[in-house]
Structures are given as C-alpha cells and as structure tokens.
Amino acid sequence: MARTVAERPDAVLALAHTFRRHGYMGASLSVISAETGLGKGSLYNFFPGGKEEMAQAVLAEVGAWFRTRVYEPLLAPGDPTERIAEMFDRTAGYFESRELVCLFGAFALGQERERFASAIREYFLEWIAALELALTRTGHGPERSHQLAVDTVAGIQGALVISRALGEPEALRASLARLRARITPASGGHDSSQLG
C-alpha cells in the first residue's frame, strides 16, 4: 500500500517498511516506487545515490533511534538495573511495531552485508558496549559483563527470528523477559554513582 510521502524523512520511513518486507535484494526500484508512492524521478531526487543511499539513510535512522532511546539511556546516571529494564521494554516495543524485523540483523545475513558492513558492525558494537557498562555497574565483573552483553544482544536477535518464524509476536517479550532475568543480579546490588 502506497504511503503519503512529501519530504525525505517521510521517504526514509516508507523505505524502512519496504526493506523490512522485501529485504534489500528484493526491494527493486519498482517495488520501492509502488510502496512509497514515489516515482523513480522523485526517489532519485531524494536519494541521488540510488537504492544503496536509500538503505544507508534507513540504517542511519534506525541507528539514531537506538542510540538515543537505548544506548544513551544505558550509559546515563541512575540505577543501571532500571536502565537495563528500559532497554528491554523499548527494544520489544520497537520491534513489535516494526514487523519483528531488525534491519541490521537482516542485512548482516544477506548478500548486502559487505556493502553495509561498517554500519552493521557499529550498530552491534555500540549496543554491546553500552549494555556492558550498565552490567558492570550492576556488580558484574568486566569480563563477565562483556560476555553477558554479547550473549544478550545475540539472544534478542535470535528471539526476533524465532518470533517471526513462528508467527508468535508474544514469544518476543517472553524471550526478552528470560534474558533480562538471566543478567539481573539476584542481590539487586548496583553502583548508582554518576558516571564521570
């Protein structure tokens, strides 16, 4: 279904939906045009670099959303256990509203991986680093925090795949609840001091 697209930010949102539905390789210019309601001339006006620039713009938009609503809150002062809980809630809400598709994860698995390797790597490394620091502040040691952060981000990606494959959106929240319980210290002790 075509969407009303008047400006570049509107086009980026419509493109994200198209890439989630069709993947990068499956989103031909004719498919993109049909789903965004933009002719090829308008698409190239917004994105002179063609489909690759479109995908880069979408990944940048998704990355910015996670940076401001997930990574930065994890790094902020306050109770790190609460920050981690917020991460799970915001992440679940984001993916539930976006067809249970992580574009970075999908692009990492497709033929387009090399084309967007830098953005994909940055997305996952930034998430792992922010979660690792929050976990360290809950009382986990540095090495354990790193392992837990990697396993948790990997677990979220796996939960997305299973939820989508089974057609059971509720499975995502159940999986994320188990991941959260696994990384939350039983004692509830944490360092709530301000970060320098």
Written as tens digits, the pLDDT of the chain (196 aa) is: 455 566 899 999 999 999 999 999 999 999 999 999 999 999 999 999 999 999 999 999 999 999 999 999 999 999 999 999 999 999 999 999 999 999 999 999 999 999 999 999 999 999 999 999 999 999 999 999 999 999 999 999 999 999 999 999 999 999 999 999 999 876 444 443 333 3
89 occurs within a structural domain: yes
> How many angstroms separate the CA atoms of 94 and 38, rounded?
26
15 occurs within a structural domain: no
192 occurs within a structural domain: no
How much is the pLDDT for 4? 55
How much is the pLDDT for 181? 95
How much is the pLDDT for 185? 75
CA 18 to the chain's CA centroid: 16
For the entire predicted model, the pTM comes to 0.89
149: containing domain:
58-183
39 occurs within a structural domain: no
Q: With b meaning 16 or more CB within 10 Å and e meaning fewer, what string describes 94-113? A: ebeeeebbbbbbbbbeeebe
How much is the pLDDT for 1? 46
174 occurs within a structural domain: yes
Question: What's the domain count of the chain?
Answer: 1
96 occurs within a structural domain: yes
> How many angstroms separate the CA atoms of 41 and 96, rounded?
33
CATH code of residue 73? 1.10.357.10
31 occurs within a structural domain: no
How much is the pLDDT for 164? 95
How much is the pLDDT for 3? 53
Burial status of residue 134 (CB atoms within 10 A of its CB: 0-12, 13-18, 19 or more):
buried
> How many angstroms separate the CA atoms of 173 and 180, rounded?
10
16 occurs within a structural domain: no
